[in-house]
Amino acid sequence: MAMREGFGQVNKTRIQRNYELLCTDIELSEIIDPFISDGYFDLDIEDDIKAEANPPTSKNINKVFLKKLIKCSDSAYDLFRTTLLQKGYSHIVEFLDNTVVQSANSQPKPKRKDRVKELSKELNDLTLDDRSVMKFNLVIGKDIDIFGKTMGFAQAEIDQIKMENTYSTATQMHKLFTKWRNRYGQSATLGLLVENLQDAELGGAEVHWDQYDLGLERVKELHKIK
């Protein structure tokens, strides 16, 4: 197998920051052929990947593929990007292209807060009802796709919510929150919601933490929690 030297830090970071999206949205059989034709992988690569994926779900298969992909040269990233565009994955390319990678000479970003640890046990374990969950409708703006996937929804479910509520992002978020709350029942706690928000941010979503802080105060008032 030829052309193995590893992605540079910039392209590797792009993959890492969009990892959840890449693992869930790609169908490997649709994009693998150009990598075989250009000599990045052998003919039996799909069988090798499926053998490593345990169990061989689509998500696990994509995880193995991405692990192998980042060991290739940066030219493989360019081929990956081009192939995604050609195969109808332009939304993924948009996320990859919009991923801002900090240069080595830049000042390091401040360490992220772990907001789950900031919650009291009472707040962490609080099961969110409809009145509570709507306090966080403005926490996520345009990145509902990333957040929805972090919450465990398929792209088709997210698209359906967006299609039914085309004019209001806040309404889309409320529908998503409500669907999440109904799915998880008593497990739909504030602590789990905050974990999802933090995971979505790591996945590239913009989280409006000022709106979260406002929502948290309103939830505390609603449930008379100090």
Please report the pLDDT score of residue 205 as a whole number: 85
pLDDT > 90? residue 126: yes
pLDDT, tens digit (0-9, with 9 covering 90-100), for 85-118: 999 998 898 889 887 665 444 444 445 678 999 9
**Segments forming the whole domain that contains residue 69:** 9-97
Whether 70 is covered by a domain: the verdict is yes
Same domain, 52 and 137: no
Same domain, 92 and 166: no
Whether 104 is covered by a domain: the verdict is no
- Tokens encoding 170: 């806040």
Total domains in the chain come to 2
Contact between 142 and 94 under an 8 Å Cβ cutoff? The reply is: no
Same domain, 91 and 154: no
Whether 122 is covered by a domain: the verdict is yes
Whether 110 is covered by a domain: the verdict is no
Same domain, 18 and 89: yes
Same domain, 82 and 149: no
| Buried b / exposed e along 67-94 (16+ C-beta atoms within 10 A) | ebbbebbeebbebbbebbeeeebeebbe
Domain boundary among 42, 68, 97: 97
Same domain, 50 and 141: no
What is the rounded average pLDDT for all residues in the chain? 87
* CA dist 73 → 25, 41, 76, 78, 87 (Å): 23, 12, 6, 9, 21
| Buried b / exposed e along 149-160 (16+ C-beta atoms within 10 A) | bbbebeeebbee
Residue 169 pLDDT class (50, 70, 90 cuts): confident
Same domain, 21 and 83: yes
Whether 49 is covered by a domain: the verdict is yes
- Tokens encoding 186: 């008593």
Please report the pLDDT score of residue 125 as a whole number: 95
Whether 4 is covered by a domain: the verdict is no
| Residue whose pair of structure tokens reads 């669907």 in the numeric block | 179
Whether 167 is covered by a domain: the verdict is yes
Same domain, 92 and 137: no
Same domain, 79 and 133: no
Same domain, 133 and 197: yes
- Tokens encoding 19: 């990892």
Same domain, 168 and 140: yes
Whether 207 is covered by a domain: the verdict is yes
Domain boundary among 44, 62, 97: 97
Contact between 36 and 45 under an 8 Å Cβ cutoff? The reply is: yes
Please report the pLDDT score of residue 219 as a whole number: 94
Domain boundary among 70, 97, 124: 97
Residue 140 pLDDT class (50, 70, 90 cuts): confident
* Domain containing residue 59: CATH number: 1.10.533.10
Same domain, 133 and 84: no
